[in-house]
Structure 1
Amino acid sequence: MPASRELDDLVVLRPEGLYCPAGDFHIDPWRPVPRAVITHGHGDHARSGMGFYHCSRDSVSILRWRLGDVPLQAHAYGELFTLGRVQVSLHPAGHVLGSAQVRIDDGTQVWVASGDYKRQPDPTCAPFEVVRCDTFITEATFALPIYRWQDTAAVAADIVAWRQECAQRGEAAILLCYALGKAQRVLAELWPLDDQAAWLHGAIANGVEVYRQAGVRMLSTDTVAEQGRTPDAAGRLILAPPSAAGTPWLRRFGRHQLAFASGWMQLRGNRRRRNVDRGFVVSDHADWPALLQTIEQTGARRVIATHGNTDALVPFLRERGVAAETFRTDFGNEE
């Protein structure tokens, strides 16, 4: 990139992470910095050690849960605040509770750093808001044409049917899912479809309680710890983090089937590698059509892709006349 152009850029890549020189702050930095604007609470975006945090109002409880009593300032969606020589505002990203895009305006140009986002309806968080900009920094987690999500309500109905099939066979139905965002979304989608309480691994239970305190309606739950060492788990839906797979923790449930809820389950090869009986395609990221739709709707003349299938997205955009490039970041592992 020419040096003269970088001097005009509102966001540049530094060893600590994405940096706004005009505002003297970083966005989701992966190394300690004095001032950080956080898009959401996943561990690859919200890390400890920052001098001060800015976040959305709905992210506060998640950051407190994940990071402890860190110094922070919360902002309502759309609220303007000044950092250095720029005006900043946070806008819904539709990824998880409190997730936000970061809009930066220096009076001559507008940049938007999207963080992670999705366009599907989600009862656990505010829907994505299209923010017009000159430059759009987009994720590219599922930026391949094969990734196209089906309606999540239909997937939730499949999960209920699977649990009932397991009940008929005297098996537990153990569903692996990420502890922040995915587990809560699955429980929210199941709320109108099932009336049997799900059991939760301890790593998931705390996050579910954070969402309940935020007013999110979800299927009723109990913790596995409350069930004793050898519970009668036949027909029970049990939510656990992916790290529980292959551990002795699973043995207490006796006969069981193992499933994984993730966008990666779109590919059968991923199901085999995960060694699961079922894969349910539920993603908290934009699929291929949604990525392209979003980029077009922002009106951005320049697009910078981060983490994921950037090698597919950037050439695709360039062939269609969009000035596209890549930032190599430390994002991508939500656990």
Structure 2
Amino acid sequence: MPSEPLLTFTDRGICCPRGGFFIDPWRPVDRALITHGHSDHARPGHGAYLATVAAAPVIRHRLGAIRLDTIAYGERRRIGGVTVSFHPAGHVPGSAQIRIEGAGEVWVVSGDYKTEPDTLSEPFEPVACHTFISECTFGLPVFRWQPQAAIAADLNAWWAGNAAEGRVSILGAYALGKAQRLMAAVDPAIGPILTHGAVEATTAVLRAQGITLPPTRHAGAGIDAKSHPGALVIAPPSALGTPWAARFGPASEAFASGWMALRGVRRRRGHGRGFVLSDHADWDGLNSAIRATGAERVFVTHGYTAIFRRWLEDQGYDAGIVATEYQGETADAEAESDPALPGTME
């Protein structure tokens, strides 16, 4: 292998010196390759952006008038001294892993990913490489997800029970990906589905791309428990327990996140229910994805990095940690409460 690594780790982000670009940089750079539209990966201020065709509409919605080029999944493009391609990550619609090849060496940057199909996102595709940079948001054995069908059954039972008692159900979920995944999973025959402005705006962008979702209504002024009894309200986590949510009266609140697998997190959040549903890979998903790459060297980022690195070393990998500013589901939650972002207000 060449003496200079194909990718380097800098204070601006993951850099490809031979290609003259960064991947999901967190400080302004001239050229950024973006894995997906969540705010901890797609940030403002870069000179030029490259993302998948399916990720571009949400990125434009969130960042406004930027110089954005698009690439199809699997398309190989020469940039400087390397060849890049984008491959499905299964995280949210349009999300990608980025493959970089140069001088006989292949690296893959995972971005955020999950291995279980969700009917909305393009299914995760393992990509063979020498070095894999993997997220490990949920890199502990305690994080093992139930099948999506089982979670949907629990959600529908909770919603139907609340509706039968005359209560509105308020479900906290991130506006890009998780909210739409929940819409597709619940039974709209139970009652109307209402949405916070941040969720409705992002959902409209995805509908315009041809993604089929059940009918929803923006829960703006004049929409409350009296006008829509027994409704399901999908809102960013930041909206739970606020005056905006109080308009729905003595509602039942719940939160959908992988963190709900931890009792301490459920208690601290104080919601009536916690549904364990994540757009990130669980313990088994992380391990199966890494094995499928055939990589000998693995760098892990954002999550239980120290523990997961030691585990990988025990399995025989050359493993390391990449310090980044990606924060997985925590960052997504903060993004939805940022009034400076388009579509986040009521």
TM-score range, shorter chain: over 0.9
The alpha-carbon deviation at position 6 of structure 1 amounts to 9.3
Q: Match of 2:232?
A: 237
The alpha-carbon deviation at position 107 of structure 1 amounts to 3.2
The alpha-carbon deviation at position 10 of structure 1 amounts to 1.1
2:104 pairs with 1:115? no
Cα deviations by residue, 1:132-187 (Å, 9 ceiling, x for unpaired): 00000000100000000001122112111111111122211000000111001111
The alpha-carbon deviation at position 227 of structure 1 amounts to 4.2
C-alpha spacing 1:116/1:243, structure 2 compared with 1 (3 Å) = same
Length-normalised TM-score, structure 1:
0.95
8 A Cα contact 2:191 2:230, kept in partner: no
The alpha-carbon deviation at position 230 of structure 1 amounts to 6.2
8 A Cα contact 1:111 1:134, kept in partner: yes
Query: Structure 1 stretches of 5 or more lacking a match?
Result: none
Count of residue pairs the alignment pairs up: 330
Q: Match of 1:265?
A: 260
2:155 pairs with 1:155? no
**What amino acid is aligned across from residue 321 of structure 1 in structure 2?**
G
C-alpha spacing 1:275/1:6, structure 2 compared with 1 (3 Å) = farther
The alpha-carbon deviation at position 328 of structure 1 amounts to 0.6
Pairing of 1:20-169 with structure 2 (within 5 A) = 20-169=16-165
**What amino acid is aligned across from residue 18 of structure 1 in structure 2?**
I
C-alpha separation in 2, matches of 1:323 and 1:150: 31
8 A Cα contact 2:83 2:102, kept in partner: yes
Q: Match of 1:218?
A: 213
SS at 2:220's partner residue? helix
Q: Match of 2:343?
A: none
Runs of 4+ in 1 over 4 A off after TM superposition: none
The alpha-carbon deviation at position 235 of structure 1 amounts to 1.4
C-alpha separation in 2, matches of 1:228 and 1:197: 12
Report percent identity of matched pairs.
48
RMSD: 1.5
C-alpha separation in 2, matches of 1:255 and 1:204: 22
C-alpha separation in 2, matches of 1:228 and 1:19: 48
Length-normalised TM-score, structure 2:
0.92
Equivalent of residue 173 in structure 1, options 149, 169, 172? 169
SS at 2:108's partner residue? strand
